[in-house]
Amino acid sequence: MILDYLTEKQAFNAWALISVVLFALYYRWPGRKLDHIPAVGYQSHILSYIGAFEFLFNAQKMVQRGYDQYRNGIFKIPNLDRWRVVVTGKDAIEMVRKTPEDILSFQDAVNESLQVPFTLGPNIKDDLYHVPIVRNQLTRNLPVLLPAVREEIIAAFSDVLRLKDNEWSNFKAMDTMMPIVCRASNRIFVGAPLCRDPDYMDINIKFTITVAKASAMLNLVPALLRPFVNRFLTSVPADIDRCIKHLEPIIEERRKNMEEYGKDYPGKPVRMLENDMLSWLMDEAKGDETSSRNLTLRILTVNFAAIHTSTMTFCHALFHLAEHPEYIKPMREEIEEIVALMMDRFARQPVTFPDGTYIPKGTHLTVAAHALHTDDAAYEDPHTFDPFRFADRTKQEYSGRKGDMISTNTEFIAFGHGRHACPGRFFAANELKLMLAHLVMTYDVKLEGNAERPPNMWFILSCIPNPKAEILLRKRVD
Ligand code: HEM
Ligand SMILES: *[C@@H]1O[C@H](CO)[C@@H](O)[C@H](O)[C@H]1NC(C)=O
Ligand SMILES: *[C@@H]1O[C@H](CO)[C@@H](O)[C@H](O)[C@H]1NC(C)=O
């Protein structure tokens, strides 16, 4: 440590200098414009930095505190570089849903929380043509494509787990399930056999983890330092280099076919094999986006959107199930699960919420999703794992479409709500149910020593299933 070579006084000065520089870099203008919104913790600007540090380690508890204190209201939480405004209550969520993009922008919020220009490169956000493809082509083709996904899931579980006889074996749940999700999803993104190529899977998984980690780190770093810090976090061009090796031959072959047979040549022989995300992207891409490099980056981006979300959701369900193996028998019939994510918006224009709260331009808004999903006003006994909570349609409160995994509403925002609600949720719901059904029908699952569900890991506002925790699996015995 360089400080070891300094005298005590020099060391003190060095620390003082570092602190001043850090403070100056993080210093946010007092933000008087948000003075009328009550804060969690200290309202005073200077003291709020104490809360900003607490936020790094205790974000979810701070949101819950605000949620309990300002029920159905709007409050703010200090972050190092800005205040984050948290919205709760049905009317306000409805307002976030229906306010148009040019006032409360979803894209700017994603740009910020994912730090898109650094993590996915500068061009992705200018042209989001993959989003309607995920919503339309992918969803429309599910009935045709799901049998192949199911086949891939069955093969992936068997290849990854390699269980012998009927003995229990240990698996790190997150590390085990991520390749299975990757392989199953890519059956529909790029088709077989590429979806099971170890190097192709590895690059997509690494990319997913890199984007998730780098965006979280970059959000903690003052804006001025981000370009510098990012050099140690991401390398989008190198990731494309590695992935394009696998995709370019396929892209070129398909292009050749397209030239030979025309785009919609009826009865085109290869057509059935080419009904996947890559082909839809190739059909829709315009101008610069048609290059193999840009198509490759798009495939990596869709993988990022699909893999970490689906894996986390699956592992949340899996840990519940492993903690309560008594449910496996009845659940061999049906299961559903939800997670905590966000529905962020960035105010491009000032707006006033139904309760009268004025939100100035430039404010970052978050909906308190986890607090909402564990609110006993919305869900009976919300902290108890009840796998049949939504299955029992005789229960008035979850009847009709409200209990569907894919229907968003003001009490269920795991996929967001409104125009920007996750376009991949129809695919995700089908894929996850296929995975869980296969797991439950084929394997027995439990936790070592019948322990309690391993505690979730909270990173800022993400509720991550314990990344180190293991589950025990064996081939089903009864
Ligand atoms: C359980 C799994 C998933 C969860 C929990 C999830 C959740 C979300 C959420 C919360 C949003 C933002 C919505 C908002 O803030 O209003 C979102 C957006 C998005 N998701 Fe998902 N997602 C999942 C799976 C997938 C899959 C499998 C795909 C692709 C096949 C996908 C593609 C996307 C895309 C492209 C967007 C951006 C939408 C836009 O720009 O308008 N997601 N997702
Ligand atoms: C997107 O975020 C970057 C910082 O990561 C910022 O420089 C840029 O201005 C943002 N763009 C928009 C449209 O918000
Ligand atoms: C990828 O697309 C962007 C515009 O979206 C363009 O500026 C860039 O040159 C393209 N890259 C390649 C390798 O074609």
The pLDDT of residue 29 is above 80: no
Average pLDDT over residues 409-424: 86
The pLDDT of residue 390 is above 90: no
Ligand 1, atom 31: closest residue by C-alpha? 424
Contact 116, 124 (CB under 8 A): yes
Between residues 188 and 272, which one has the greater pLDDT?
188
Q: Which ligand is nearest to the CA of 120?
A: 2
Between residues 263 and 3, which one has the greater pLDDT?
263
Mutate to test the pocket of ligand 3, among 127, 129, 284, 291 (most ligand atoms within 8 A of CB): 291
Collapsed DSSP state (helix, strand, coil) of residue 214: helix
The pLDDT of residue 336 is above 50: no
Ligand 2 binding pocket includes 111 (Cβ within 6 Å): yes
Contact 310, 428 (CB under 8 A): yes
pLDDT digits (tens, 9 = 90+) for 144-164: 898 899 999 999 999 999 998
Average pLDDT over residues 192-198: 95
Q: Name all residues whose Cβ lies below 6 A of ligand 3.
A: 123, 126-127, 288-289, 291, 293-294
The pLDDT of residue 305 is above 60: yes
Q: What is the pLDDT of residue 412?
A: 85
Sheet (strand 470-475) strand order = 169-172, 470-475, 443-446
Ligand 2 binding pocket includes 115 (Cβ within 6 Å): yes
The structure's pTM equals 0.86
SS (H, E, C) 136-183: HHHHHCHHHHHHHHHHHHHHHHHHHHCCCCCCCEEEEHHHHHHHHHHH
Average pLDDT over residues 50-65: 87
- Cα-Cα-Cα-Cα torsion 20, 24, 27, 32, nearest 10 degrees, comes to 100
The pLDDT of residue 369 is above 90: no
Q: What is the pLDDT of residue 19?
A: 74
Contact 117, 268 (CB under 8 A): no
Mean pLDDT of the chain: 86
Helix pair 173-189, 425-442: axis angle to 10 deg = 130
Q: How confident is the model at residue 420 (pLDDT cuts 50, 70, 90)?
A: confident
Ligand 3, atom 9: closest residue by C-alpha? 288
16's tokens: 């003082």
C-alpha 207 – ligand 3 centre gap (Å):
19
Collapsed DSSP state (helix, strand, coil) of residue 240: helix
Lowest mean pLDDT: which of 17-21, 24-28, 295-299, 322-326?
A: 24-28
Q: What percent of the chain clears pLDDT 90, i.e. is strictly above it?
A: 45
Q: Which atom of ligand 2 is nearest the CA belonging to 346?
A: 14
Mutate to test the pocket of ligand 2, among 111, 215, 230 (most ligand atoms within 8 A of CB): 111
Identify which of 139, 149, 140 has the alpha carbon closest to the alpha carbon of residue 438. 149
pLDDT digits (tens, 9 = 90+) for 228-270: 999 999 999 999 999 999 999 999 988 888 788 776 655 554 4
pLDDT digits (tens, 9 = 90+) for 71-117: 889 999 988 878 889 998 889 989 999 999 999 999 899 898 899 99
Mutate to test the pocket of ligand 1, among 277, 300, 415, 426 (most ligand atoms within 8 A of CB): 415
For 92, residues 6+ apart whose C-beta sits below 8 A from its C-beta are 72, 74, 353, 354, 355, 367
Ligand 2 binding pocket includes 119 (Cβ within 6 Å): no
Between residues 153 and 2, which one has the greater pLDDT?
153
Average pLDDT over residues 269-286: 79
Q: Name all residues whose Cβ lies below 6 A of ligand 1.
A: 106, 128, 131, 134, 138, 302, 305-306, 309-310, 313, 339, 341, 343-344, 414-416, 420-425, 427-428
Q: What is the pLDDT of residue 271?
A: 46
Lowest mean pLDDT: which of 42-46, 83-87, 463-467, 472-476?
A: 42-46
Rounded Cα distance between 342 and 462, Å, is 8
C-alpha 347 – ligand 2 centre gap (Å):
13
Q: What is the pLDDT of residue 464?
A: 86
Lowest mean pLDDT: which of 91-95, 313-317, 404-408?
A: 404-408
Q: What is the pLDDT of residue 266?
A: 58
Ligand 2, atom 10: closest residue by C-alpha? 111
Q: Which atom of ligand 2 is nearest the CA belonging to 105?
A: 14
Positive or negative CA dihedral for 95, 96, 98, 103? positive
